[in-house]
């Protein structure tokens, strides 16, 4: 490739002493003029290759190939995105960058049937079958050859149809809204229409008010967006995206799509609507395009999955090599015997090659596949759908299953159990003041009504289920300004919440906040939400700035994890019993949310509020109290976990929720039994010349012990399940990250005895699966598709309880939204695995027995007749091989799992004893017949 520069973010004015800002200038692509010397700079040649939809470019500096992601490659700060990249690119600079990043499209090419035939279907087995058919045809053995051709054609056609259908489905899913027209800002402030395929990192696009499907990954620099990210996360709840900070400490950080997720619009997600103030356009800077986007990486992982490594398939090939070795001995024996008997050369060649087709059965692939096909049909009948049939056998070997908590072990929704407010520096009794008028008029309820990210879509409230439950409990009404109101009457008109004026909604008549109130007691006030800092999983909190109707000052409300909120409040406003009260609720399995309030200065204007940093706002708050939410365990959860434990299958919980809440749910559902103790492992990174450290403490005893306390951990495989356990480890995501980086030698030991992993990020869930696989666990993962995609793909057996697009990469999807699918899948996996072993042993024994028979007959220059071969191959072998796999799965999961290896003592002993027994009986019968008085030696008169 020829280009004016070596890297995509080089300035086109390469010979100029002054660097032009992003988007300035208009230069040719083929050559760059040097004004100082009056000559053209010749384009340079760049070497590259493409692998798995990614281009790798040669770098002379590092003497290696590298690939470009996007705007993150230049380590740009949030502030510089606003200052240097907000004006847009010139057309020439856009064309230059497209040389490196290519067209902005996620192209899933549907291969032709011929390519699929060559790539996917023609494996060594089918080639061997073709060889066998040609050989049999030369021997005039047309009957069995026709049967094998018939089976092979059906098998190949079925495979081609299935693979082609999957490619078409993936193509249709990706192609939907992938090419759209977008408004692009140019360096001279002009706006032009362009195709989304022309976009490159650095382009500035305008998000329309009525929304769009994002064609790239882009970071918001002006305005706010309500986005549905179900395509990537599986979560259908809309999320709010705000503009990237342009000032303060946050703006100095280097931009990263992972760290600044709440400011980034991801490719494939649906922007439902936008919010803007003072008539400003909602603008975003393109940071990634094509296969570098989040959606592109997901599609690439589906197109090019990591190969599954299963011992059965490795051993099957070794076993076949042994059969080939036996066939080789027979081949040599046949040639030597034929030469000694002076048999014609043509007969020697045909009979010698025939011994190979007898030893290695050509029908083996079809017979092995039959069990998986039958198991797949049985799974479909119980609502489990599979896109990777070969993994069904792996399910039979599962000895550990990881479960997400919310939506998997517990119900999706949360119920408001009660509230606990603060009075005179201490907690009031829970629910005691829930129906009092003083509470409804308080800052506590105002915080519940305003501190959320809810929005109205087609007249219906939409947003996080927790926010919906909290807001509906207040009985208040949310009103959003229309586009006409915002632009004509008041350019900064905010979203307003207010109590009902006339009646209490029927759905809220039993709420503790409204049940004993008279209609005339309802307060008549309106609160406008001026600014919103959306919830951040990293910060574990969200906040809003509001103004009450008729008041000059503004208020700030904060909602989040109790420990975080308490740390941001004035110490004297946090009750002394805070820790004990919080622990009481979390141990009972409740989800606890803390609220806080702060009155801002009266002279603070709207424009100052918009430039106010989050860190400055969320300080010196006043603690308001706690909201206690109840997350119920699904009815099927406890029974399924008990069944898995009885079957010697270890279970883990991997969740993003609070540690104590997760431990409580683990106890309630039986993952941790009543007599077993839990040790929480916490770790701190190095700080102020202090090295990283680990602390341990029992949940019943908050006194921590340093990491020099010895805990004996047995690394022997299977000890966990065979011995009675007296303790379990529980690890937070923060501790997991520290231990992974600073104490890697402890990671595997911890994974052997840990049962609860709380506050885990999505990538940490994937890391945990990899750690468990590294200590020889066959790992299953069960989640609802939200933030579990990576772990679902990486596990040996990923089961998604969500049927959304995010689950397209999960090998299994259950239409039943509870974990009862897990034992069903393991049972069918065991049935498929057992039948695979039985079929393999049966086919191997049949071929060896037939090999012995033919070898003995060759010694007297004889052979079986065509119809004898046909009867053996079809009537005896194929019928039994195919009907053997019809055996359904056993109704219970037993303690003992099927073997995982063909090369094992019991299995080899079984096969070898059968072979020896058959050999003895055949040789004995052969010799006895020859010794009979009526036996006459047969001398062939012709070939």
* Structural contact between residues 755 and 778, judged by C-beta atoms closer than 8 angstroms: no
Cα(69)–Cα(51) distance, integer angstroms: 15
870 exposed, middle or buried (CB, 10 Å; 0-12, 13-18, 19+)? middle
Of 234-248, 446-460, 730-744, 866-880, the least confident? 234-248
- Give tens-digit pLDDT for 861-911: 888 888 888 888 888 887 888 888 888 888 888 888 888 777 778 888 888
Cα(352)–Cα(641) distance, integer angstroms: 57
Instruction: Name the residue with higher pLDDT: 80 or 720.
Output: 80
Q: How many CB atoms lie within 10 A of CB 646?
A: 12
Residue recorded with tokens 């501790």: 735
757's CB contacts (< 8 A; 6+ apart) are 652, 653, 654, 655, 730, 731, 732, 733, 736, 764, 765, 768
Residue recorded with tokens 């005179």: 424
Selection from 578, 588, 574 nearest residue 699 by Cα: 588
103 exposed, middle or buried (CB, 10 Å; 0-12, 13-18, 19+)? middle
Grouping H, G, I as helix, E, B as strand and the rest as coil, residue 590 is strand
Return the pLDDT at 261.
Answer: 83
Q: What is the 3-state secondary structure (H, E, C) of 786-823?
A: CCCHHHHHHCCEEEECCCCHHHHHCCEEECCCCCCHHH
Strand partners, 182: 194
Statement: residue 188 has pLDDT above 70: no
Q: Which two tokens stand for residue 479?
A: 């009103």
Backbone φ/ψ region at 465: left (φ over 0), alpha (ψ -120 to 50), beta: alpha
Return the pLDDT at 873.
Answer: 80
State whether the Cα torsion 200-204-208-213 is positive or negative. Answer: positive
Statement: residue 342 has pLDDT above 80: no
Statement: residue 651 has pLDDT above 90: yes
pLDDT category of residue 413 using cuts at 50, 70 and 90: low
Return the pLDDT at 702.
Answer: 43
Cα(475)–Cα(266) distance, integer angstroms: 34
| Average pLDDT of the segment spanning 200-211 | 88
Q: How many CB atoms lie within 10 A of CB 56?
A: 15
Return the pLDDT at 119.
Answer: 73
Statement: residue 808 has pLDDT above 70: no
Any idea what DSSP says for residue 194?
E
Concatenate the DSSP letters of all residues of 537-553 into one string: TTTTEEEEEEEETT-SS
Instruction: Name the residue with higher pLDDT: 429 or 628.
Output: 628
Q: Which two tokens stand for residue 358?
A: 């007898």
* Structural contact between residues 730 and 662, judged by C-beta atoms closer than 8 angstroms: yes
| pLDDT above 70 coverage of the chain, percent | 83
Return the pLDDT at 695.
Answer: 86
Q: For domain 418-500+525-628, give the fold.
A: Calcium-transporting ATPase, cytoplasmic domain N (3.40.1110)
pLDDT category of residue 288 using cuts at 50, 70 and 90: very high
- CATH fold match for the domains 181-303 and 388-411+633-699+726-827: no
Q: Which two tokens stand for residue 915?
A: 């072979």
Grouping H, G, I as helix, E, B as strand and the rest as coil, residue 464 is coil
pLDDT category of residue 703 using cuts at 50, 70 and 90: very low
Return the pLDDT at 654.
Answer: 92
Strand partners, 560: 541, 594
193's CB contacts (< 8 A; 6+ apart) are 181, 182, 183, 184
Where in the chain are the domains? 1-7+44-67, 116-177, 181-303, 316-385+838-931, 388-411+633-699+726-827, 418-500+525-628
| Average pLDDT of the segment spanning 669-695 | 86
- Give tens-digit pLDDT for 767-801: 899 899 989 899 999 987 656 777 887 888 989 88
Statement: residue 756 has pLDDT above 90: yes
| Average pLDDT of the segment spanning 595-602 | 87
pLDDT category of residue 12 using cuts at 50, 70 and 90: low
Cα(472)–Cα(462) distance, integer angstroms: 12
Verdict on whether the full-model pTM lies above 0.85: no
Cα(407)–Cα(413) distance, integer angstroms: 8
Statement: residue 33 has pLDDT above 70: no
CATH of 181-303, one of 3.30.420.40, 3.50.50.60, 3.30.470.10, 2.70.150.10: 2.70.150.10
Of all residues in the chain, what percent are helix, strand and coil, respectively (each to 5)?
Answer: 40, 20, 40
- Give tens-digit pLDDT for 443-482: 888 899 899 888 777 777 877 777 888 888 888 888 876 6
Return the pLDDT at 286.
Answer: 94
Grouping H, G, I as helix, E, B as strand and the rest as coil, residue 618 is coil
* Structural contact between residues 110 and 171, judged by C-beta atoms closer than 8 angstroms: yes
Statement: residue 513 has pLDDT above 70: no
Return the pLDDT at 436.
Answer: 46
| pLDDT above 90 coverage of the chain, percent | 13
Instruction: Name the residue with higher pLDDT: 187 or 218.
Output: 218
Statement: residue 121 has pLDDT above 80: no
Return the pLDDT at 754.
Answer: 92
Instruction: Name the residue with higher pLDDT: 825 or 38.
Output: 825
Residue recorded with tokens 């619009």: 265
Statement: residue 165 has pLDDT above 90: no
Q: Which two tokens stand for residue 279?
A: 């008539």
What radius of gyration do the chain's Cα atoms show? Answer: 35
pLDDT category of residue 492 using cuts at 50, 70 and 90: low
Strand partners, 800: 783, 813
pLDDT category of residue 16 using cuts at 50, 70 and 90: very low
CATH superfamily of 388-411+633-699+726-827: HAD superfamily/HAD-like (3.40.50.1000)
145's CB contacts (< 8 A; 6+ apart) are 132, 133, 136, 137
Statement: residue 243 has pLDDT above 60: yes
Return the pLDDT at 26.
Answer: 41
Q: Which two tokens stand for residue 336?
A: 């030597």
Average pLDDT, the chain: 79
Q: Which two tokens stand for residue 3?
A: 């280009």
pLDDT category of residue 21 using cuts at 50, 70 and 90: very low
Identify how many contiguous H helices and E strands the chain contains and give both numbers.
Answer: 30, 39
Statement: residue 38 has pLDDT above 50: no
Return the pLDDT at 566.
Answer: 92
- The residues that are catalytic are 404
Selection from 412, 819, 837 nearest residue 649 by Cα: 819
Return the pLDDT at 718.
Answer: 36
Burial 507-517 (b: 16+ CB within 10 A, else e): ebeebbbbeeb
């Amino acid at each position: 490739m020829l280009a004016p520069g070596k890297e995509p973010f080089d300035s086109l004015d390469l010979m100029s002493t002054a660097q032009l800002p992003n988007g300035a200038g208009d230069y040719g692509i083929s050559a760059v003029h040097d004004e100082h010397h009056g000559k053209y700079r010749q384009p340079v040649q760049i070497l590259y290759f493409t692998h798995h939809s990614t281009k790798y470019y040669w770098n002379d500096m590092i003497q290696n190939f590298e690939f470009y992601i996007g705007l993150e490659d230049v380590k740009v700060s949030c502030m510089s995105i606003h200052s240097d990249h907000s004006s847009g690119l010139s057309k020439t600079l856009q064309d230059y960058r497209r040389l490196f990043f290519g067209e902005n499209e996620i192209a899933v090419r549907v291969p032709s049937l011929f390519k699929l035939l060559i790539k996917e279907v023609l494996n060594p087995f089918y080639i061997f079958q073709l060889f066998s058919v040609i050989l049999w045809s030369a021997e005039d053995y047309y009957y069995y050859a026709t049967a094998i051709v018939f089976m092979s054609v059906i098998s190949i056609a079925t495979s081609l149809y299935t693979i082609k259908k999957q490619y078409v489905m993936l193509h249709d899913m990706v192609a939907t809204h992938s090419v759209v027209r977008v408004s692009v800002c140019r360096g001279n402030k002009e706006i032009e229409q362009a195709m989304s395929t022309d976009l490159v990192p650095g382009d500035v696009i305008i998000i329309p008010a009525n929304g769009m499907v994002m064609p790239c990954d882009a970071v918001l620099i002006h305005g706010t967006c309500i986005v549905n990210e179900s395509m990537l996360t599986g979560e259908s709840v809309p999320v709010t995206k705000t503009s990237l900070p342009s000032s303060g400490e946050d703006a100095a950080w280097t931009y990263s799509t992972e760290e600044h997720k709440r400011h980034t619009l991801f490719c494939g997600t649906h922007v439902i609507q936008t919010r803007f103030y003072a008539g400003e356009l909602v603008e975003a800077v393109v940071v990634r395009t094509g296969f570098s986007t989040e959606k592109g990486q997901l599609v690439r992982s589906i197109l090019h999955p990591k190969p599954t490594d299963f011992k059965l398939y490795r051993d099957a090939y070794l076993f076949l090599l042994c059969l080939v070795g036996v066939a080789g001995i027979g081949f040599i024996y046949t040639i030597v015997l034929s030469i000694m008997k002076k048999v014609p050369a043509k007969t020697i060649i045909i009979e010698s090659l025939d011994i190979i087709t007898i030893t290695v059965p050509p029908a083996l692939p079809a017979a092995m596949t039959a069990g998986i096909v039958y198991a797949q049909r049985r799974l479909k009948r119980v609502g489990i759908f599979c896109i990777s049939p070969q993994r069904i056998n792996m399910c039979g070997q599962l000895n550990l299953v990881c479960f997400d908590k919310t939506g998997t072990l517990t119900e999706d929704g949360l119920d408001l159990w009660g509230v606990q407010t603060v009075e005179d520096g201490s907690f009031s009794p829970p629910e005691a003041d829930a129906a009092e008028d003083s509470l409804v008029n308080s800052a506590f309820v105002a915080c519940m009504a305003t501190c959320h990210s809810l929005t109205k879509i087609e007249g219906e409230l939409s947003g996080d289920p927790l926010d919906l439950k909290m807001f509906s409990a207040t009985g208040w009404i949310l009103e959003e300004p229309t586009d006409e109101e915002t632009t004509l009457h008041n350019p900064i008109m905010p979203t307003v919440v207010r109590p009902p004026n006339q009646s209490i909604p029927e759905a809220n008549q039993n709420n503790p906040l409204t049940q004993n109130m008279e209609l005339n007691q309802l307060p008549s006030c309106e609160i406008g939400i001026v600014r919103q800092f959306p919830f951040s999983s990293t910060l574990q909190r969200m906040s809003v700035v509001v103004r009450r109707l008729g008041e000059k000052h503004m208020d700030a409300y904060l909602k989040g994890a109790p420990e975080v909120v308490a740390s941001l409040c004035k110490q004297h406003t946090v009750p002394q019993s805070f820790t004990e009260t919080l622990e009481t609720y979390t141990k009972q399995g409740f989800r606890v949310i803390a609220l806080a309030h702060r009155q801002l200065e009266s002279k603070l204007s709207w424009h100052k509020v918009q430039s106010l940093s989050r860190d400055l706002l969320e300080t010196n708050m006043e603690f308001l109290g706690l909201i206690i939410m109840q997350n119920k365990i699904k009815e099927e959860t406890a029974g399924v976990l008990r069944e898995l434990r009885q079957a010697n299958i270890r279970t883990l919980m991997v969740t993003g929720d609070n540690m104590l809440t997760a431990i409580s749910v683990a106890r309630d559902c039986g993952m941790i039994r009543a007599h077993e103790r839990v040790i929480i492992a916490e770790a701190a990174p190095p700080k102020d010349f202090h090295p990283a450290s680990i602390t341990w403490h029992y949940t019943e005893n908050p006194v921590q012990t340093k990491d020099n306390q010895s805990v004996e951990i047995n690394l022997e495989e299977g000890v966990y399940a065979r011995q009675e356990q007296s303790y379990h480890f529980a690890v937070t995501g923060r501790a997991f990250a520290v231990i992974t980086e600073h104490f890697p030698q402890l990671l595997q030991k911890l994974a052997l005895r840990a049962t609860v992993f709380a506050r885990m990020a999505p990538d940490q869930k994937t890391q945990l699966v990899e750690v468990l696989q590294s200590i020889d666990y066959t790992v299953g993962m069960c989640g609802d598709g939200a933030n579990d995609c990576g772990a679902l793909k990486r596990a040996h057996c990923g089961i998604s309880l969500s049927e959304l697009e995010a689950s397209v990469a999960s090998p299994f999807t259950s239409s039943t939204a509870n974990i009862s699918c897990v034992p069903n899948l393991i049972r069918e996996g065991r049935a498929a695995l057992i039948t695979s072993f039985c079929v393999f042993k049966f086919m191997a024994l049949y071929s060896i027995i037939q090999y012995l028979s033919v070898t003995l007959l060759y010694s007297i220059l004889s052979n079986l007749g065509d119809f004898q071969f046909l009867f053996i191959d079809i009537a005896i072998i194929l019928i039994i091989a195919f009907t053997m796999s019809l055996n359904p799965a056993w109704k219970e999961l037993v303690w003992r799992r099927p073997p995982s290896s063909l090369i094992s003592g019991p299995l080899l002993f079984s096969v070898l004893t059968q072979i020896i027994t058959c050999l003895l009986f055949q040789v004995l019968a052969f010799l006895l017949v020859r010794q009979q008085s009526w036996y006459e030696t047969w001398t062939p008169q012709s070939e």
